[in-house]
Amino acid sequence: MTKSRSEGSLTTVRGLAALRARVAEWRLAGEIIALVPTMGALHEGHGALMAAARKASDRVIVSIFVNPTQFGPSEDFAAYPRDEAADAAFLDAAGVDLLYAPSADAMYPEGFATLVSVPELGGVLCGTERSGHFDGVATVVTKLINQVTPDAAYFGEKDYQQLVIIRRVVLDLDLPVRVEGVATVRASDGLAISSRNAYLGAKERAIAPALYVALKDAAQRIGAGAEIEGACAEARAALIAVGFSSVDYLQYVDVASLEPLATQDRSARILAAAHLGRVRLIDNVAIKN
């Protein structure tokens, strides 16, 4: 299905009208279109999304938009890494057809007032620490999907709560798009690749893989029949022991409702967020029974 495409042919589009015109051309030609929404600072994790999109589509559109509404007042919006030239080179090498890079003023013009929210899923886990974050995510992803009107949109399993919320929004609002989750890409020592890993000092970077180790360990023990809350509590304690300053949560939850589960369930996953120095790391693993 993949069209051959020569390097150096990446098109950058900033306006909605130009985006829609290009998408309309591709539609008319009967092409399958994929969207990979990102905030830039592209890395191998995004690369895996693009590769999955490339494989299943004729055209791949990557959006880069550092969305102000999903950052809390004390978060790193201003400091979030931005380097469009480097990102464009990355996209070009990845065989992406179009970079959609709208401005914040175009996305949120004067008078903007609408919110898409999933209160039950957006207020738990990361949502308790990051109030309003998932409303910002749900709203901007709804906008991007409606702007691009792709056949499929690709999201990483790394941000698992985000993926669950986006699946819920797409299903609930009947957005005519397929949501594809892509497995987390990890460094050779297991650390999940993330733009925010750049904030880790050398010592913290050495400690960081313990998050994945603790999750894998808890998952393996629960899969083998260990008591759930006990296994999670031990994993949390292990993180503090190796130098994490605090654990926001490390919980065995239902993959659709995100509710904590006290007993073994086939559709469960362990999700965690923990602070290491000034960096908040998240990760998650499936349970293999």
Active-site residue numbers?
Answer: 46
The distance of closest approach from Cβ of residue 48 to its own copies in the complex, given in angstroms and rounded to an integer, is 27
Residue 210: both structure tokens together: 């313990």
Residues that bind its own copies (CB under 8 A): 16, 20, 111-121, 138-139, 142-143, 146-147, 149, 168-169, 172-176, 256-257
State which residue, 20 or 43, has the beta carbon closest to its own copies.
20
State which residue, 112 or 262, has the beta carbon closest to its own copies.
112
Pairing of strands 279-286, 268-276: antiparallel
* Closest by Cα among 16, 175, 241 to 24: 16
Residues contacting residue 107 through CB under 8 Å, at least 6 positions apart: 65, 67, 140, 143
Residues contacting residue 183 through CB under 8 Å, at least 6 positions apart: 48, 157
Q: Kindly list the distances between the CA atom of residue 36 and the CA atoms of 9, 144, 274, in Å, as whole numbers in the listed order.
A: 18, 10, 27
The distance of closest approach from Cβ of residue 128 to its own copies in the complex, given in angstroms and rounded to an integer, is 17
State which residue, 16 or 193, has the beta carbon closest to its own copies.
16
The distance of closest approach from Cβ of residue 208 to its own copies in the complex, given in angstroms and rounded to an integer, is 33
Q: How far apart are CA 6 and CA 250, in angstroms?
A: 45
State which residue, 148 or 239, has the beta carbon closest to its own copies.
148
* Closest by Cα among 134, 146, 38, 140 to 94: 38
The distance of closest approach from Cβ of residue 31 to its own copies in the complex, given in angstroms and rounded to an integer, is 16
Lookup result for tokens 């007042």: 73
State which residue, 34 or 170, has the beta carbon closest to its own copies.
170
The distance of closest approach from Cβ of residue 97 to its own copies in the complex, given in angstroms and rounded to an integer, is 20
* Closest by Cα among 117, 149, 148 to 133: 117
